[in-house]
Amino acid sequence: MEHRFITKRFWKDTSTAMSKSYAMARQFDDVINLSLGDPDLITDANISYAAYQDSLAGHTKYTDFRGDPELRKAILDYYHEELHIPIKDEEICVSCACLAMNLALQAILDDGDEVIIHAPYYTQYPQQIELARGVPVILNTYEEEDFQINIERLESLITDKTKALVINTPNNPTGTCFTEETMRNIAAVAIKHDLVVISDEIYTLYSFENPFMSMLSVDGMRERTIVINSFSKDYTMTGWRIGHIIAPDFIIDVIRQISEKLIFTAPTISQRAALYAMTHRDEIQPAMREEYKSRVFYAAERINNIPNMSVMSPRGTFYLFFNIKKTGLTSQEVQMKILQEAHVLTLPGSAFGDCGEGYIRIACTVGVDKLKEAFDRIEKMDIFK
């Protein structure tokens, strides 16, 4: 909306396909919503009860500016025990989930600095970079290359203004996981050109083909990597809005200073919930991981048995990015047809970058019974016969 009281940066509507999906989901009473990564499962009751008990015990005040010391210790222990990566306490800052990316970008970017993001990308990345006064530069990836980063194309985009590269593996929306070779090649480019790598690792639990690999584990990357992580997906805690950042201590100190001005500290009650979740992960995560894995593999099988659509074998996350190019329609046209004719809500691949055209993303955030119903409806559509 153009108005003299509104900054010109927001005269153009920047709403994403994700935010618009809420209104679309209300068009029919029987919509099966596969659009957003907000699962039907709720947070484990023990996490909620522990947070409630902690609130009664007095954990309702501000925490340390870098987060509850107990939670920071639990994060440190997790990286040491699960990923075999030694992290120091001063390299950790607890934050609200999506805010963590903004804090990292604010800490490293000067006006006009360029940040490379690989597409298809999480819909918020370009605008998050712009909000931090940076310039997003898009690196396309392709299904024929398993959506891996092509190193030659990556290097061709680097200029004297390039400051950072954002990577996301396991990936939303494609579900791909970068191979060890890809990770090491990215690291070599970052070191060669003196770049910061911001590694969005919020789907660490959902690496199905191979064990999860953090950029922090690659030689030479500790001093130039910022890890963004969250409890939203790995613990089904989307509404708690809690996550953390790992980075060199000098970057964390700047992030702390910025965070102090924006939110003071992350919500204490959410931090206590995160503490219980992380220290009881062996009890909470296995069944949850298997549930999402069974959903995504079921959905992939159904997709590959329907004419005019196909999808890669699931590698990670609970998303599927399926190819609908044989329909001859755009991804938005297919999305609307699926909604209008099958009452199933999806997201168009074009929402995730230009190279996402020709694809549809679904989130397997409902049970197999609902997924069956969704695909039973979809396979009756004329464009998929």
Whole-number pLDDT of residue 266: 97
pLDDT of 163-219, one tens digit each?
A: 999 999 999 999 999 999 999 999 999 999 999 999 999 999 999 999 999 999 999
d(CA 38, CA 365): 6
Whole-number pLDDT of residue 182: 98
Whole-number pLDDT of residue 20: 64
Q: Is the separation of the CB atoms in 142 and 36 below 8 Å?
A: no
d(CA 301, CA 13): 38
d(CA 301, CA 49): 38
Whole-number pLDDT of residue 13: 78
Domains within the chain, CATH numbers bracketed: 8-30+284-384 (3.90.1150.10), 46-282 (3.40.640.10)
Q: Is the separation of the CB atoms in 276 and 51 below 8 Å?
A: yes
Whole-number pLDDT of residue 345: 96
Whole-number pLDDT of residue 18: 62
Q: Residue 140: what are its φ and ψ, rounded to 5°?
A: -75, 145
Whole-number pLDDT of residue 11: 84
> Which stretches of the chain score pLDDT less than 50?
none
**Any bridge partners for residue 323, and if so which?**
310, 359
Q: Give the other-Cβ count within 10 Å of 292's Cβ.
A: 23
Closest CA to 268 of 104, 70, 89, 73: 70
